[in-house]
Structure 1
Amino acid sequence: MSPASPSPSRFDRLWLTEAIRLREEHAGPLEDAEANRRARAAGGDLAGRIEARALWLAERDGLTAALQRWRQGAGLALLGLLLLALLSGASLGFAALGDGQRPVNVFWALGSLLGLHLLSLGGWALGLAFAGDSGGTLGRLWLWLSAKLARDARAAQLAPALLLMLQRQRLARWGLGFVAHGLWLLALSSALVCLLALMATRRYDFLWETTLLGADTFVALTRTLGALPALLGFDLPAPGLIRASGNALPGGEAARQVWAGWLLGVLLVYGVLPRLLLALLCLCRWRRGRARLALDLSLPGYRLLAERLQPSSERLGVRDPAPTAVPKAQVDTAPAAAGGALLVGVELDDSRPWPPALPEGIADAGILDDREQRQRLLERLTRCPPAHLIIACDPRRSPDRGTLALLGELSRCAGQTRVWLLPPPPGEALDDARLGDWREALERLGLAHGTDAPLAWLETGHD
């Protein structure tokens, strides 16, 4: 099976490999004979072979397509959260200032703009310090929505595999943190733009009110909060203006502009800028950690694959001298090099002479009767795939699943394949119903077939 989709990125390869490991850990080993054979033929180190095996299994079982649907669901979930953040930020701006009919309590407005943001930021920082892998509530929500929108049962292991893979490099905190801080950044920026638009088109008066606290408390608080924005050029209310705003509505355009500048500066410095800096920090840490991602070959699931994908004999190399005489091999050898033409029979009885007279340049792989012969031929074809392959079958037998699976494996080891449904021996009739079963099964496999000898096609590559 050759993947039809584009080659996945390194990140996706590691992700799919981890998903296959989790699937086998929970549901038991997969049927992987062909995947192992192709991984061994691909060569490379053990990690590369494990990846090659997992990619083949993921393509065969639809996990690669499920990953694409998961990504689509993740994109839709992120788009929905971005729209929600945009609308929520605008709503915060409207709620903070109101319709302009009543004066604005500056500290109520500030609390509505920054209160939930500061609580979320504190929760993220505590999770980072004590839990060690905080992605934020919004980051976890995005991950959950992505899995829900994928709507594919085969994608069930993708989200857990992603988290496990990222946690080894402690990347979940940075990846999900980037999503969370990015959404908050959009919401607060939307609130800031909304405030600018409202203040530019409406007149707002600002005051503060209290029953328990004195004016000195509000003076100190206002001056403290405005100190950092003042460094960026925002207005800092004078103590007299702050006191006057608590006693009566200050008249004049200058007072309104000072309070408006103070409110915008505090939102920018304590809201927008921290989220921007944290989003950039998470992005940098994410990119650095992503480059270091690798398979953890010490996991039991990967250790079990070591002997199958990189046998000890292969790792040790040649240890004994070559024998002086080699036993004569059976007539089931494949072409010595890639390309060429090959004829092979599958479970043929002795009632017909075999092989037929073959033109020059066509190799005979004999008749496959047992599992050992099949595996030996498949190993050879994987290393040296022929350009043209004819598989001869006896249509008097039923097309069972084992035979059809073998035909599929053989066809994937050749450039082009045809199935030759042999005519019955003289004096015997062919069952039309069974022949129809063969044709239907081969059409499902996508294999060309016929009852006429395709030796001319095998020799020339065309009819």
Structure 2
Amino acid sequence: MTNTALRESAFPDAVITEAIRWTEEKGPLDDAQAMRTASSLTADSHARITVRALQLGERIGLQPELARARQWGPWVLLGLVALVVVAGLGLAGNVVGGGERHINVIVALVSLLGIHLLTLLLWLAGLWLPLGSFNTSSLGWIWLSLTARVAGGKRGQAPVLMRAATGLLTRARLLPWAFGLVSHGIWSLSFLVVLAALLFALAFRSYTLSWETTILDPAFFVRAVQALGWAPAQLGFPVPDSATVLSATPGAAGQRTWALWLTGCIAVYGLLPRVALVLLSAIVWHRRRAALHPDWSDAYYRKLTARFAALAPPAIVDADPGRAPGIAPAGLAPSELQDTLFVIGFELPSDIAWPPAGLPAAQVHRIDGSAPARRSLLDQLALARPRAVLLVCHAASSPDRGTERFLREVLAHCGECRLWPAQDVKSVQNDSAVGAAQRWIDWLQATGLQRIAATHRLEDALQQLGAAP
């Protein structure tokens, strides 16, 4: 795999990554080999998650189905365009194909623009209202659904791939624009065909254009024709005057004005908005497509990041003479934290009472320092994102590189961390608590972990964390 492939995921890779996330909602996949492969290819956590997903996707058949969908997509779109064009020709034929060659201009206008205006209003509503029905009523959604059905059949992975793709588009605020690019494009082509057929018929056949009513005031039609004709008039289309509108049998000039007015209304209120929205959708897609990647802050991806970190080979962190201390991880932002306290007993001997007396409400854990125990606890921290962590260590033990590495991993998953060197019974009797705590403090300073304060009193550590009982 090239370095380019390991950069920010392209949209197909992002779809596979999200599809694996939805698949694993039903239960985790066996990913031991995929984890090792991803770890060996790159050090970037996001790229590792993507490589892992691509490995699992190949195994369960996601990539082949996505490839089939990309192959069938243009053909399904071509078929949908043909259907809409035939429907447009049918509408134009209904308007100009009557044997009496009489056209009711108002009925013709409503029949040619009615469905277009309704679907356009639904699409505009989908931009502002978070209701999926507005998007699923568009030609873009129909195209995506048909493509998925043709590519995947009845038992394929189409549902999870569609869910992943639409989820990514929604998160990037691109779903209505992506569907709009397809839908407005098809409508534009349809109006071009309708206008061509209408102009051809009006140019080479003689028609009588008029309006009819039983209950409406004729003055209403005069005002309606003038109002509807204002925008086309800005582009040079004529507007029938009141005498022409009220005339029962307008002459040839009046018929020509009616025909051009009808054509101008279809062009201005039908074709031009769709063409403009095609261009706008393309611009929005170009500007926002960089946001088409998974939400890496999601708990699922944070857990995978922690698992990859646990797979990393242990580094030698015992300070050599003259070695500069490392930089402590910055931790999580306040907006990412939950108001939770974790109390962790780390490699404590059996004669230390656990849990300590006087703890407030907290999640209490005790681990022996083994790799599986550390990984399990770090996974829980990645999901919980606690405001504070209190790490309880054995005061008489010597802090080592394993302790330093574990502390750095803990800092990356919480807001703040404090350390309490707990005493066993013998040490308490020898009154060595202050000296042991100072040794831990000196070690924290030397390893660049100044963010972690150590104190020999549990009450002081809890008070520093704002969790005093």
User: Among 223, 241, 247, which residue is 1:238 paired with?
Assistant: 241
The C-alpha deviation readout for 1:408-434, integer Å capped at 9, x for no partner, is xxxxxxxxxxxxxxxxxxxxxxxxxxx
After TM superposition, where is structure 1 displaced by more than 6 Å over at least 4 residues in a row? Answer: 6-9
Alignment check: 8 A CA contact 1:97 1:104 kept = yes
Q: Structure 1 residues 60-69 or 265-274, which shifts more?
A: 60-69
Q: Distance in 2 between matches of 1:99 and 1:193?
A: 18
How far 1:266 sits from its partner (Å)?
0.3
Alignment check: 8 A CA contact 2:138 2:179 kept = no
How far 1:137 sits from its partner (Å)?
2.7
CA 1:7–1:306: 2 relative to 1, 3 Å: closer
Q: Secondary structure at the match of 1:277?
A: helix
Q: Structure 1 residues 91-100 or 231-240, which shifts more?
A: 91-100
Q: Distance in 2 between matches of 1:104 and 1:93?
A: 11
Alignment check: 8 A CA contact 2:123 2:176 kept = no
How far 1:112 sits from its partner (Å)?
0.8
Letter of the 1:160 partner, please give it: R
Letter of the 1:257 partner, please give it: R
Letter of the 1:10 partner, please give it: A
CA 1:318–1:155: 2 relative to 1, 3 Å: farther
The C-alpha deviation readout for 1:51-86, integer Å capped at 9, x for no partner, is 111112222332211111122333332122111111
How far 1:16 sits from its partner (Å)?
0.8
Q: Secondary structure at the match of 1:261?
A: helix
The alignment's TM-score, normalised by the length of structure 1, stands at 0.63
Confirm whether residue 277 of structure 1 aligns to residue 280 of structure 2. no
The C-alpha deviation readout for 1:308-332, integer Å capped at 9, x for no partner, is 3233866x9542258xxxxxxxxxx
How far 1:47 sits from its partner (Å)?
0.6
The alignment's TM-score, normalised by the length of structure 2, stands at 0.63
Cα root mean square deviation, aligned: 2.6
Q: Secondary structure at the match of 1:131?
A: coil
1:446 matched residue in structure 2 = none
Confirm whether residue 15 of structure 1 aligns to residue 15 of structure 2. yes
Q: Secondary structure at the match of 1:298?
A: coil
Confirm whether residue 191 of structure 1 aligns to residue 194 of structure 2. yes
The C-alpha deviation readout for 1:153-204, integer Å capped at 9, x for no partner, is 1333110111111111121111112222222222222111110111122111
Alignment check: 8 A CA contact 1:169 1:289 kept = yes
1:99 matched residue in structure 2 = 98
Q: Distance in 2 between matches of 1:312 and 1:91?
A: 64
Q: Secondary structure at the match of 2:197?
A: helix
2:151 matched residue in structure 1 = 150
Confirm whether residue 39 of structure 1 aligns to residue 35 of structure 2. no
CA 1:78–1:88: 2 relative to 1, 3 Å: same
Report the count of equivalent residues: 315
Q: Distance in 2 between matches of 1:289 and 1:310?
A: 31
Alignment check: 8 A CA contact 1:74 1:149 kept = no
Q: Distance in 1 between matches of 2:51 and 2:89?
A: 49
User: Among 223, 245, 270, which residue is 1:220 paired with?
Assistant: 223
The C-alpha deviation readout for 1:275-325, integer Å capped at 9, x for no partner, is 1112221221122111222221222321221133233866x9542258xxx
Letter of the 2:193 partner, please give it: S
The C-alpha deviation readout for 1:236-267, integer Å capped at 9, x for no partner, is 112211111xx2x2232x22211111011000
User: Among 165, 181, 185, which residue is 1:182 paired with?
Assistant: 185
Alignment check: 8 A CA contact 2:15 2:168 kept = yes
Letter of the 2:204 partner, please give it: T
Alignment check: 8 A CA contact 1:100 1:204 kept = no
| Overall identity of the aligned pairs, in % | 41
For 1:13-412, list aligned pairs within 5 A.
Answer: 13-26=13-26, 28-99=27-98, 101-131=100-130, 134-135=134-135, 136-152=137-153, 153-244=156-247, 247=248, 249-252=249-252, 254-311=253-310, 318-320=316-318
Q: Distance in 1 between matches of 2:42 and 2:138?
A: 43
How far 1:100 sits from its partner (Å)?
5.5
Alignment check: 8 A CA contact 1:25 1:301 kept = no
